[in-house]
Structure 1
Amino acid sequence: MGRVVWESGDAYEAYVGRWSRLVAKTFVSWLDVPPNRRWLDVGCGTGALTSSITSPGTLVGVDRSSGFLTTARSGPALCVGDATALPLADASFDAVVSGLALNFVGRPEIAVQEFSRVAAPGAVVAAYVWDYAGGMEMMWYFWAAAAERDPAAAALAENLRFELCRDDVLAGLWHQAGLRDVSTRRIQIRTIFTDFDDFWNPFLGGQGPAPSYVATLADPDRDALRELLRTRLPTSTDGSIPLTAAAWAVRGTRT
Protein backbone atom coordinates (compact mmCIF):
# COMPACT_ATOMS: atom_id res chain seq x y z
CA MET A 1 0.00 0.00 0.00
CA GLY A 2 1.27 3.51 -0.80
CA ARG A 3 1.38 6.44 1.59
CA VAL A 4 -1.69 7.23 3.65
CA VAL A 5 -3.56 10.20 2.20
CA TRP A 6 -5.00 13.02 4.33
CA GLU A 7 -6.13 15.72 1.93
CA SER A 8 -9.91 15.78 1.52
CA GLY A 9 -11.69 17.28 4.50
CA ASP A 10 -15.16 16.16 3.42
CA ALA A 11 -14.05 12.54 2.95
CA TYR A 12 -12.31 12.56 6.33
CA GLU A 13 -15.42 13.92 8.06
CA ALA A 14 -17.53 11.07 6.67
CA TYR A 15 -14.90 8.50 7.65
CA VAL A 16 -13.77 9.33 11.21
CA GLY A 17 -14.10 13.08 11.67
CA ARG A 18 -17.73 12.82 12.75
CA TRP A 19 -16.76 10.33 15.47
CA SER A 20 -13.78 12.40 16.59
CA ARG A 21 -16.20 15.23 17.37
CA LEU A 22 -17.95 13.02 19.92
CA VAL A 23 -14.65 12.14 21.61
CA ALA A 24 -13.59 15.79 21.59
CA LYS A 25 -16.52 16.89 23.74
CA THR A 26 -15.57 14.54 26.58
CA PHE A 27 -11.88 15.29 26.12
CA VAL A 28 -12.30 19.07 26.45
CA SER A 29 -14.53 18.65 29.49
CA TRP A 30 -11.88 16.43 31.10
CA LEU A 31 -9.21 19.11 30.65
CA ASP A 32 -11.35 21.64 32.53
CA VAL A 33 -9.50 24.68 31.20
CA PRO A 34 -10.97 27.97 32.48
CA PRO A 35 -12.57 30.36 29.96
CA ASN A 36 -10.68 33.09 28.14
CA ARG A 37 -7.46 31.12 27.84
CA ARG A 38 -5.12 30.87 24.86
CA TRP A 39 -5.64 27.55 23.00
CA LEU A 40 -3.59 25.83 20.31
CA ASP A 41 -4.90 22.78 18.40
CA VAL A 42 -2.05 20.96 16.62
CA GLY A 43 -3.21 18.82 13.70
CA CYS A 44 -6.58 20.56 13.86
CA GLY A 45 -7.75 18.92 10.63
CA THR A 46 -11.38 19.73 9.86
CA GLY A 47 -12.02 21.28 13.27
CA ALA A 48 -13.40 18.34 15.27
CA LEU A 49 -11.53 19.42 18.38
CA THR A 50 -11.53 23.18 17.93
CA SER A 51 -15.32 23.18 17.50
CA SER A 52 -15.64 21.63 20.99
CA ILE A 53 -13.63 24.35 22.74
CA THR A 54 -15.96 26.85 24.35
CA SER A 55 -15.16 30.39 25.50
CA PRO A 56 -11.50 30.55 24.50
CA GLY A 57 -9.64 33.84 24.73
CA THR A 58 -7.77 33.00 21.52
CA LEU A 59 -7.84 29.83 19.45
CA VAL A 60 -5.23 28.82 16.88
CA GLY A 61 -5.30 25.73 14.68
CA VAL A 62 -2.28 24.29 12.86
CA ASP A 63 -2.35 21.50 10.28
CA ARG A 64 -0.03 20.42 7.49
CA SER A 65 -2.98 19.71 5.15
CA SER A 66 -4.31 22.82 3.44
CA GLY A 67 -7.21 20.69 2.17
CA PHE A 68 -8.29 19.96 5.73
CA LEU A 69 -8.00 23.61 6.72
CA THR A 70 -10.41 24.64 3.99
CA THR A 71 -13.02 22.32 5.56
CA ALA A 72 -12.39 23.44 9.15
CA ARG A 73 -15.19 25.44 10.69
CA SER A 74 -14.79 29.17 11.11
CA GLY A 75 -13.61 30.50 14.45
CA PRO A 76 -9.95 29.68 15.06
CA ALA A 77 -7.03 31.38 13.36
CA LEU A 78 -5.66 28.72 11.00
CA CYS A 79 -2.20 28.17 9.57
CA VAL A 80 -0.34 25.46 7.69
CA GLY A 81 2.45 23.98 9.77
CA ASP A 82 4.26 20.84 10.90
CA ALA A 83 3.73 19.47 14.41
CA THR A 84 7.48 18.85 14.73
CA ALA A 85 8.38 22.47 13.90
CA LEU A 86 5.52 24.70 15.01
CA PRO A 87 5.70 28.22 13.53
CA LEU A 88 4.83 29.73 16.91
CA ALA A 89 6.64 31.47 19.75
CA ASP A 90 7.72 29.86 23.01
CA ALA A 91 5.31 29.90 25.96
CA SER A 92 2.43 31.31 23.89
CA PHE A 93 -0.53 29.16 24.97
CA ASP A 94 -2.41 28.12 28.10
CA ALA A 95 -3.68 24.89 26.52
CA VAL A 96 -1.97 22.92 23.76
CA VAL A 97 -4.07 20.04 22.43
CA SER A 98 -4.08 17.55 19.56
CA GLY A 99 -6.76 15.15 18.38
CA LEU A 100 -6.02 12.00 16.33
CA ALA A 101 -2.84 13.47 14.84
CA LEU A 102 0.14 11.98 16.68
CA ASN A 103 -0.02 8.58 14.96
CA PHE A 104 0.60 10.31 11.64
CA VAL A 105 3.57 12.42 12.72
CA GLY A 106 6.93 11.04 11.67
CA ARG A 107 8.61 11.91 14.99
CA PRO A 108 5.88 12.09 17.65
CA GLU A 109 8.42 12.56 20.44
CA ILE A 110 9.63 15.74 18.73
CA ALA A 111 6.04 16.91 18.27
CA VAL A 112 5.30 16.55 22.00
CA GLN A 113 8.47 18.51 22.78
CA GLU A 114 7.14 21.23 20.47
CA PHE A 115 3.80 21.14 22.30
CA SER A 116 5.70 21.75 25.53
CA ARG A 117 7.84 24.50 24.02
CA VAL A 118 4.89 26.64 22.93
CA ALA A 119 2.99 26.02 26.20
CA ALA A 120 3.24 28.63 28.93
CA PRO A 121 4.32 27.60 32.46
CA GLY A 122 1.37 25.85 34.12
CA ALA A 123 -0.36 25.20 30.78
CA VAL A 124 -2.13 21.92 30.07
CA VAL A 125 -0.70 19.84 27.21
CA ALA A 126 -3.01 17.04 26.05
CA ALA A 127 -3.92 14.78 23.13
CA TYR A 128 -6.06 11.83 22.17
CA VAL A 129 -5.64 9.00 19.66
CA TRP A 130 -7.88 6.10 18.68
CA ASP A 131 -7.53 2.95 20.76
CA TYR A 132 -6.75 0.87 17.69
CA ALA A 133 -5.55 -2.02 19.85
CA GLY A 134 -8.89 -2.68 21.50
CA GLY A 135 -11.54 -0.09 20.86
CA MET A 136 -12.26 0.58 17.18
CA GLU A 137 -14.93 -1.86 16.07
CA MET A 138 -15.36 -0.35 12.61
CA MET A 139 -11.65 -0.94 11.94
CA TRP A 140 -11.72 -4.44 13.44
CA TYR A 141 -14.55 -5.60 11.21
CA PHE A 142 -12.96 -4.04 8.15
CA TRP A 143 -9.48 -5.52 8.57
CA ALA A 144 -10.82 -8.95 9.62
CA ALA A 145 -12.78 -9.13 6.37
CA ALA A 146 -9.92 -7.72 4.30
CA ALA A 147 -7.44 -10.24 5.76
CA GLU A 148 -9.84 -13.11 5.09
CA ARG A 149 -9.70 -12.30 1.40
CA ASP A 150 -6.11 -11.01 1.32
CA PRO A 151 -3.87 -12.32 4.13
CA ALA A 152 -1.29 -9.60 3.43
CA ALA A 153 -3.85 -7.00 4.50
CA ALA A 154 -3.59 -8.12 8.13
CA ALA A 155 -0.24 -6.34 8.49
CA LEU A 156 -1.79 -3.04 7.41
CA ALA A 157 -4.23 -2.78 10.33
CA GLU A 158 -3.78 0.28 12.51
CA ASN A 159 -3.32 -1.68 15.73
CA LEU A 160 -0.13 -3.21 14.28
CA ARG A 161 1.17 -0.08 12.57
CA PHE A 162 0.66 2.55 15.28
CA GLU A 163 2.22 2.01 18.70
CA LEU A 164 0.64 5.20 20.10
CA CYS A 165 -2.71 3.46 20.51
CA ARG A 166 -1.63 2.50 24.06
CA ASP A 167 -1.95 4.61 27.17
CA ASP A 168 1.47 3.66 28.57
CA VAL A 169 3.23 4.74 25.37
CA LEU A 170 1.41 8.07 25.37
CA ALA A 171 2.26 8.68 29.02
CA GLY A 172 5.89 7.87 28.25
CA LEU A 173 6.02 10.56 25.55
CA TRP A 174 4.59 13.12 27.97
CA HIS A 175 7.11 12.22 30.68
CA GLN A 176 9.93 12.30 28.13
CA ALA A 177 8.95 15.87 27.21
CA GLY A 178 9.32 16.92 30.85
CA LEU A 179 5.62 17.38 31.53
CA ARG A 180 4.36 16.79 35.07
CA ASP A 181 1.14 15.43 36.60
CA VAL A 182 0.71 13.11 33.61
CA SER A 183 -2.50 11.07 33.47
CA THR A 184 -4.44 9.10 30.87
CA ARG A 185 -8.10 8.33 30.24
CA ARG A 186 -10.01 6.02 27.90
CA ILE A 187 -12.99 7.64 26.18
CA GLN A 188 -15.59 5.36 24.59
CA ILE A 189 -18.37 6.45 22.25
CA ARG A 190 -21.15 4.82 20.26
CA THR A 191 -20.73 4.86 16.48
CA ILE A 192 -24.14 4.08 15.04
CA PHE A 193 -24.26 3.87 11.25
CA THR A 194 -27.70 4.47 9.76
CA ASP A 195 -27.31 1.61 7.26
CA PHE A 196 -24.64 -0.38 5.44
CA ASP A 197 -23.98 2.38 2.91
CA ASP A 198 -23.31 4.80 5.76
CA PHE A 199 -20.66 2.37 7.00
CA TRP A 200 -19.14 1.38 3.64
CA ASN A 201 -19.13 4.54 1.52
CA PRO A 202 -16.57 6.40 3.69
CA PHE A 203 -14.09 3.60 2.95
CA LEU A 204 -14.23 4.77 -0.69
CA GLY A 205 -12.96 8.26 0.15
CA GLY A 206 -9.25 7.47 0.12
CA GLN A 207 -8.55 9.14 3.50
CA GLY A 208 -6.66 7.00 6.01
CA PRO A 209 -5.10 3.51 6.04
CA ALA A 210 -8.22 1.42 5.37
CA PRO A 211 -9.65 3.65 2.59
CA SER A 212 -6.15 3.88 1.08
CA TYR A 213 -6.09 0.07 0.97
CA VAL A 214 -9.52 -0.06 -0.67
CA ALA A 215 -8.26 2.35 -3.34
CA THR A 216 -5.65 -0.26 -4.39
CA LEU A 217 -8.24 -2.98 -5.06
CA ALA A 218 -9.58 -3.90 -8.48
CA ASP A 219 -13.34 -3.55 -8.83
CA PRO A 220 -14.15 -7.27 -8.36
CA ASP A 221 -12.02 -7.48 -5.20
CA ARG A 222 -13.52 -4.30 -3.78
CA ASP A 223 -17.04 -5.56 -4.45
CA ALA A 224 -16.28 -8.91 -2.83
CA LEU A 225 -14.88 -7.19 0.27
CA ARG A 226 -17.98 -5.01 0.49
CA GLU A 227 -20.32 -7.99 0.34
CA LEU A 228 -18.28 -9.96 2.88
CA LEU A 229 -18.48 -7.02 5.28
CA ARG A 230 -22.22 -6.78 4.71
CA THR A 231 -22.62 -10.32 6.04
CA ARG A 232 -20.32 -9.81 9.06
CA LEU A 233 -21.51 -6.53 10.56
CA PRO A 234 -24.09 -6.59 13.37
CA THR A 235 -27.29 -5.08 11.99
CA SER A 236 -30.39 -3.96 13.88
CA THR A 237 -33.93 -4.58 12.65
CA ASP A 238 -34.08 -1.00 11.33
CA GLY A 239 -30.94 -1.56 9.25
CA SER A 240 -28.65 0.48 11.49
CA ILE A 241 -25.24 -0.85 12.50
CA PRO A 242 -24.47 -0.22 16.20
CA LEU A 243 -20.73 -0.21 16.95
CA THR A 244 -18.45 1.45 19.47
CA ALA A 245 -15.15 3.30 19.27
CA ALA A 246 -12.66 4.31 21.92
CA ALA A 247 -9.76 6.72 22.22
CA TRP A 248 -6.89 7.08 24.67
CA ALA A 249 -6.37 10.59 26.02
CA VAL A 250 -3.30 11.89 27.83
CA ARG A 251 -2.67 15.14 29.66
CA GLY A 252 0.16 16.81 31.54
CA THR A 253 1.23 20.19 32.83
CA ARG A 254 4.07 22.40 31.59
CA THR A 255 6.54 23.16 34.36
Structure 2
Amino acid sequence: MTDVWAVGHAYEVYIGRWSAPVADAFVRLLAVPPGRSWLDVGCGTGALTAAVLAAAEPSRVTGVDPAEGFLAHARARVGDPRVTFYSGDARSLPVPDGAFDAVVSGLALNFVPAAEQAVAECVRAATPGGTVAAYVWDYAEGMAMLRHFWDAAVALDPAAADLDEGRRFPLCRPEPLRELWTGAGLADVLVRAIETPMVFADFDDLWTPFLGGQGPAPGYVAALTADRRAALRDRLHGSLPLAADGSIALTARAWAVSGVRPS
Protein backbone atom coordinates (compact mmCIF):
# COMPACT_ATOMS: atom_id res chain seq x y z
CA MET A 1 0.00 0.00 0.00
CA THR A 2 1.36 3.43 -0.97
CA ASP A 3 1.12 6.25 1.57
CA VAL A 4 -1.02 9.11 0.30
CA TRP A 5 0.02 12.70 1.02
CA ALA A 6 -2.02 15.10 -1.09
CA VAL A 7 -4.92 16.81 0.69
CA GLY A 8 -3.73 19.43 3.16
CA HIS A 9 -6.99 19.87 5.08
CA ALA A 10 -7.43 16.12 5.63
CA TYR A 11 -3.88 15.87 6.96
CA GLU A 12 -4.38 18.84 9.26
CA VAL A 13 -7.36 17.34 11.09
CA TYR A 14 -5.60 13.98 11.30
CA ILE A 15 -2.03 14.77 12.40
CA GLY A 16 -1.45 18.40 11.54
CA ARG A 17 -3.25 19.76 14.57
CA TRP A 18 -0.76 18.00 16.81
CA SER A 19 2.31 18.85 14.73
CA ALA A 20 2.01 22.60 15.37
CA PRO A 21 2.85 22.49 19.11
CA VAL A 22 5.66 20.00 18.46
CA ALA A 23 7.08 22.29 15.75
CA ASP A 24 7.01 25.25 18.14
CA ALA A 25 8.82 23.28 20.86
CA PHE A 26 11.39 22.04 18.30
CA VAL A 27 12.22 25.55 17.07
CA ARG A 28 12.64 26.85 20.61
CA LEU A 29 14.81 23.84 21.47
CA LEU A 30 17.24 24.68 18.65
CA ALA A 31 17.64 28.29 19.83
CA VAL A 32 18.94 29.53 16.48
CA PRO A 33 19.69 33.27 16.82
CA PRO A 34 17.42 35.82 15.08
CA GLY A 35 18.12 36.99 11.55
CA ARG A 36 19.21 33.61 10.20
CA SER A 37 18.14 31.84 7.00
CA TRP A 38 16.17 28.58 7.30
CA LEU A 39 15.42 25.66 4.97
CA ASP A 40 12.39 23.49 5.81
CA VAL A 41 12.83 20.11 4.09
CA GLY A 42 9.58 18.20 3.62
CA CYS A 43 7.66 21.28 4.71
CA GLY A 44 4.27 19.67 4.14
CA THR A 45 1.37 21.93 5.11
CA GLY A 46 3.70 24.52 6.64
CA ALA A 47 3.52 23.84 10.39
CA LEU A 48 7.28 24.02 10.93
CA THR A 49 7.69 27.04 8.65
CA ALA A 50 4.97 28.83 10.63
CA ALA A 51 6.72 27.94 13.90
CA VAL A 52 10.03 29.32 12.59
CA LEU A 53 8.34 32.59 11.66
CA ALA A 54 6.62 32.84 15.04
CA ALA A 55 9.54 31.94 17.29
CA ALA A 56 12.87 32.39 15.48
CA GLU A 57 12.73 35.81 13.76
CA PRO A 58 14.31 34.46 10.55
CA SER A 59 15.63 36.58 7.70
CA ARG A 60 14.07 34.13 5.24
CA VAL A 61 12.59 30.64 5.10
CA THR A 62 12.55 28.29 2.12
CA GLY A 63 10.21 25.30 2.17
CA VAL A 64 10.57 22.25 -0.08
CA ASP A 65 8.07 19.40 -0.49
CA PRO A 66 7.10 17.00 -3.30
CA ALA A 67 3.33 17.14 -2.59
CA GLU A 68 1.68 19.96 -4.54
CA GLY A 69 -1.51 19.69 -2.49
CA PHE A 70 0.44 20.23 0.71
CA LEU A 71 2.39 23.12 -0.81
CA ALA A 72 -0.85 24.84 -1.79
CA HIS A 73 -2.02 24.53 1.83
CA ALA A 74 1.30 25.85 3.11
CA ARG A 75 1.21 28.87 0.80
CA ALA A 76 -2.30 29.71 1.96
CA ARG A 77 -1.31 29.22 5.59
CA VAL A 78 1.89 31.26 5.52
CA GLY A 79 1.45 34.64 3.88
CA ASP A 80 4.83 36.16 4.64
CA PRO A 81 7.20 37.77 2.12
CA ARG A 82 10.17 36.13 3.82
CA VAL A 83 8.92 32.67 2.79
CA THR A 84 9.28 30.85 -0.53
CA PHE A 85 7.99 27.35 -1.21
CA TYR A 86 9.33 25.03 -3.91
CA SER A 87 8.35 21.61 -5.18
CA GLY A 88 11.28 19.25 -4.72
CA ASP A 89 12.72 16.00 -3.41
CA ALA A 90 14.64 15.82 -0.12
CA ARG A 91 17.22 13.64 -1.88
CA SER A 92 18.01 16.36 -4.43
CA LEU A 93 17.21 19.72 -2.90
CA PRO A 94 16.76 22.62 -5.36
CA VAL A 95 19.03 24.94 -3.36
CA PRO A 96 22.69 26.04 -3.53
CA ASP A 97 25.49 24.63 -1.38
CA GLY A 98 25.97 26.19 2.05
CA ALA A 99 23.07 28.61 1.67
CA PHE A 100 21.23 28.22 5.01
CA ASP A 101 22.09 28.78 8.65
CA ALA A 102 19.50 26.21 9.78
CA VAL A 103 18.31 23.22 7.76
CA VAL A 104 15.39 21.45 9.42
CA SER A 105 12.81 18.77 8.71
CA GLY A 106 9.62 17.98 10.61
CA LEU A 107 7.82 14.61 10.65
CA ALA A 108 9.05 13.77 7.15
CA LEU A 109 12.45 12.08 7.18
CA ASN A 110 11.16 8.55 7.80
CA PHE A 111 9.00 8.76 4.65
CA VAL A 112 11.99 9.54 2.43
CA PRO A 113 13.60 6.52 0.74
CA ALA A 114 17.35 6.55 1.40
CA ALA A 115 17.30 8.79 4.46
CA GLU A 116 21.11 8.96 4.38
CA GLN A 117 20.93 10.71 1.02
CA ALA A 118 18.37 13.19 2.35
CA VAL A 119 20.53 14.03 5.37
CA ALA A 120 23.59 14.43 3.14
CA GLU A 121 21.59 16.95 1.11
CA CYS A 122 20.62 18.79 4.29
CA VAL A 123 24.29 18.99 5.28
CA ARG A 124 25.20 20.23 1.80
CA ALA A 125 22.60 23.01 2.06
CA ALA A 126 23.80 24.16 5.50
CA THR A 127 26.47 26.80 5.91
CA PRO A 128 29.60 25.68 7.82
CA GLY A 129 28.73 26.05 11.50
CA GLY A 130 25.04 25.85 10.65
CA THR A 131 22.43 23.71 12.38
CA VAL A 132 20.99 20.56 10.78
CA ALA A 133 18.04 19.14 12.72
CA ALA A 134 14.89 17.07 12.36
CA TYR A 135 12.13 15.50 14.40
CA VAL A 136 9.99 12.41 13.83
CA TRP A 137 7.15 10.82 15.74
CA ASP A 138 8.01 8.04 18.19
CA TYR A 139 5.78 5.60 16.35
CA ALA A 140 6.87 2.54 18.31
CA GLU A 141 5.84 3.76 21.75
CA GLY A 142 5.21 7.47 22.14
CA MET A 143 2.53 8.29 19.56
CA ALA A 144 -0.38 7.01 21.65
CA MET A 145 -3.17 7.61 19.13
CA LEU A 146 -1.44 5.48 16.50
CA ARG A 147 -0.32 2.90 19.03
CA HIS A 148 -3.96 2.31 20.06
CA PHE A 149 -5.02 2.26 16.39
CA TRP A 150 -2.51 -0.32 15.19
CA ASP A 151 -2.91 -2.52 18.26
CA ALA A 152 -6.66 -2.65 17.50
CA ALA A 153 -6.06 -3.24 13.79
CA VAL A 154 -3.58 -6.06 14.35
CA ALA A 155 -5.89 -7.76 16.86
CA LEU A 156 -8.46 -8.05 14.06
CA ASP A 157 -6.06 -8.47 11.14
CA PRO A 158 -2.55 -9.77 11.95
CA ALA A 159 -1.37 -8.79 8.46
CA ALA A 160 -1.84 -5.14 9.44
CA ALA A 161 1.33 -5.42 11.55
CA ASP A 162 3.38 -4.91 8.38
CA LEU A 163 1.77 -1.47 7.92
CA ASP A 164 2.31 -0.29 11.50
CA GLU A 165 4.63 2.74 11.43
CA GLY A 166 6.28 1.47 14.61
CA ARG A 167 7.54 -1.51 12.61
CA ARG A 168 7.95 0.23 9.24
CA PHE A 169 10.09 3.08 10.53
CA PRO A 170 12.89 1.81 12.80
CA LEU A 171 14.65 5.12 12.14
CA CYS A 172 12.22 6.85 14.53
CA ARG A 173 14.16 5.96 17.67
CA PRO A 174 16.99 7.78 19.44
CA GLU A 175 19.95 5.59 18.50
CA PRO A 176 19.22 5.25 14.76
CA LEU A 177 18.72 9.02 14.57
CA ARG A 178 21.98 9.64 16.41
CA GLU A 179 23.83 7.23 14.10
CA LEU A 180 22.32 8.88 11.02
CA TRP A 181 23.49 12.32 12.12
CA THR A 182 26.97 11.29 13.20
CA GLY A 183 27.35 9.22 10.03
CA ALA A 184 26.65 12.37 8.00
CA GLY A 185 29.66 14.02 9.61
CA LEU A 186 27.74 16.36 11.90
CA ALA A 187 29.22 17.48 15.21
CA ASP A 188 27.64 18.09 18.64
CA VAL A 189 24.83 15.64 17.90
CA LEU A 190 21.95 15.65 20.40
CA VAL A 191 18.74 13.59 20.51
CA ARG A 192 15.92 14.89 22.70
CA ALA A 193 12.27 14.05 23.31
CA ILE A 194 9.41 16.46 22.66
CA GLU A 195 6.01 15.62 24.14
CA THR A 196 2.65 17.27 23.61
CA PRO A 197 -0.82 16.39 24.96
CA MET A 198 -3.44 15.07 22.54
CA VAL A 199 -6.91 15.73 23.90
CA PHE A 200 -9.93 14.69 21.85
CA ALA A 201 -13.40 16.06 22.59
CA ASP A 202 -14.91 12.61 22.09
CA PHE A 203 -14.33 9.40 20.17
CA ASP A 204 -15.64 10.84 16.89
CA ASP A 205 -13.05 13.62 17.17
CA LEU A 206 -10.37 10.91 17.19
CA TRP A 207 -11.93 8.48 14.70
CA THR A 208 -13.27 10.74 11.93
CA PRO A 209 -9.80 11.93 10.78
CA PHE A 210 -8.88 8.29 10.13
CA LEU A 211 -11.44 8.41 7.30
CA GLY A 212 -9.55 11.12 5.40
CA GLY A 213 -7.16 8.84 3.52
CA GLN A 214 -3.95 10.82 4.28
CA GLY A 215 -1.12 8.68 5.64
CA PRO A 216 -0.60 4.99 6.45
CA ALA A 217 -3.37 4.42 9.02
CA PRO A 218 -6.11 6.31 7.14
CA GLY A 219 -4.98 4.57 3.95
CA TYR A 220 -5.47 1.23 5.70
CA VAL A 221 -8.96 2.26 6.86
CA ALA A 222 -9.90 3.37 3.34
CA ALA A 223 -9.04 -0.08 1.98
CA LEU A 224 -11.30 -1.93 4.44
CA THR A 225 -14.81 -3.14 3.69
CA ALA A 226 -17.59 -1.37 5.60
CA ASP A 227 -18.00 -4.32 7.99
CA ARG A 228 -14.29 -4.54 8.78
CA ARG A 229 -14.09 -0.77 9.20
CA ALA A 230 -16.96 -0.89 11.70
CA ALA A 231 -15.28 -3.71 13.61
CA LEU A 232 -12.04 -1.73 13.80
CA ARG A 233 -13.93 1.34 14.98
CA ASP A 234 -15.58 -0.63 17.79
CA ARG A 235 -12.34 -2.33 18.81
CA LEU A 236 -10.48 0.98 18.94
CA HIS A 237 -13.28 2.65 20.89
CA GLY A 238 -13.14 -0.09 23.51
CA SER A 239 -9.38 0.27 23.97
CA LEU A 240 -9.25 4.00 24.70
CA PRO A 241 -9.24 5.77 28.08
CA LEU A 242 -12.54 7.67 27.91
CA ALA A 243 -13.18 10.25 30.63
CA ALA A 244 -16.59 10.71 32.23
CA ASP A 245 -17.40 13.52 29.80
CA GLY A 246 -16.41 11.38 26.82
CA SER A 247 -13.11 13.13 26.16
CA ILE A 248 -9.90 11.20 25.50
CA ALA A 249 -6.54 12.42 26.82
CA LEU A 250 -3.43 10.93 25.19
CA THR A 251 0.13 12.09 24.57
CA ALA A 252 2.31 12.37 21.49
CA ARG A 253 6.08 12.09 21.64
CA ALA A 254 8.56 13.02 18.95
CA TRP A 255 12.32 12.53 18.83
CA ALA A 256 14.36 15.56 17.81
CA VAL A 257 17.93 15.21 16.54
CA SER A 258 20.29 18.09 15.90
CA GLY A 259 23.91 18.64 14.91
CA VAL A 260 26.29 21.22 13.52
CA ARG A 261 27.98 21.16 10.12
CA PRO A 262 31.69 21.41 10.89
CA SER A 263 33.45 24.59 9.77
TM class by smaller structure: over 0.9
Deviations 1:196-235 (A, max 9, x none): 1110011111111111110110011101111221121111
What residue number does 2:117 align with? 110
What residue number does 1:45 align with? 44
CA distance in 2 between counterparts of 1:85 and 1:177 reads 16
Where in structure 2 are the equivalents of 1:121-136 lying within 5 Å? 121-136=128-143
CA distance in 1 between counterparts of 2:161 and 2:89 reads 30
Deviations 1:96-134 (A, max 9, x none): 000000110011000000000010011000000001121
1:195 matches 2:206: no
**AA at the equivalent of 1:40:** L
2:247 to 237, 240, 245: 240
CA distance in 1 between counterparts of 2:98 and 2:239 reads 50
1:162 to 156, 169, 186: 169
What residue number does 1:171 align with? 178
1:61 matches 2:55: no
CA distance in 2 between counterparts of 1:252 and 1:151 reads 39
Q: Which runs of 5+ in 1 are unaligned?
A: none
Deviations 1:81-104 (A, max 9, x none): 000000100000000000000110
CA distance in 2 between counterparts of 1:147 and 1:105 reads 25
**In structure 2, the residue corresponding to 1:238 is in which secondary structure?**
coil
Give the fraction of aligned pairs with identical amino acids, expressed as a percent. 57
**AA at the equivalent of 1:50:** T
Aligned-pair Cα RMSD in Å: 0.8
What residue number does 2:8 align with? 9
CA distance in 2 between counterparts of 1:114 and 1:151 reads 38
Deviations 1:131-180 (A, max 9, x none): 11210110111111111111111221111100111111111111111111
Where in structure 2 are the equivalents of 1:64-143 lying within 5 Å? 64-72=66-74, 73-74=77-78, 75=80, 76-143=83-150
Kindly state the Cα deviation for residue 7 of structure 1 after the two structures are TM-superposed. Answer: 0.7
CA distance in 2 between counterparts of 1:25 and 1:119 reads 21
**In structure 1, the residue corresponding to 2:135 is in which secondary structure?**
strand
Kindly state the Cα deviation for residue 187 of structure 1 after the two structures are TM-superposed. Answer: 0.8
**AA at the equivalent of 2:33:** P
CA distance in 1 between counterparts of 2:184 and 2:156 reads 43
What residue number does 2:211 align with? 204
User: 4+ residue stretches of structure 1 with deviation over 6 A?
Assistant: none
CA distance in 1 between counterparts of 2:160 and 2:140 reads 16
**In structure 2, the residue corresponding to 1:49 is in which secondary structure?**
helix
CA distance in 2 between counterparts of 1:164 and 1:149 reads 27
Kindly state the Cα deviation for residue 61 of structure 1 after the two structures are TM-superposed. Answer: 0.4
1:228 matches 2:235: yes
CA distance in 1 between counterparts of 2:235 and 2:99 reads 51
Deviations 1:3-58 (A, max 9, x none): 01111111111111111111111110110001110000000000111111131101
1:180 to 182, 187, 198: 187
CA distance in 1 between counterparts of 2:138 and 2:155 reads 23
What residue number does 1:23 align with? 22
CA distance in 1 between counterparts of 2:26 and 2:229 reads 36
1:150 to 130, 133, 157: 157
**In structure 1, the residue corresponding to 2:19 is in which secondary structure?**
helix
What's the TM-score, normalizing by structure 1? 0.98
What's the TM-score, normalizing by structure 2? 0.95
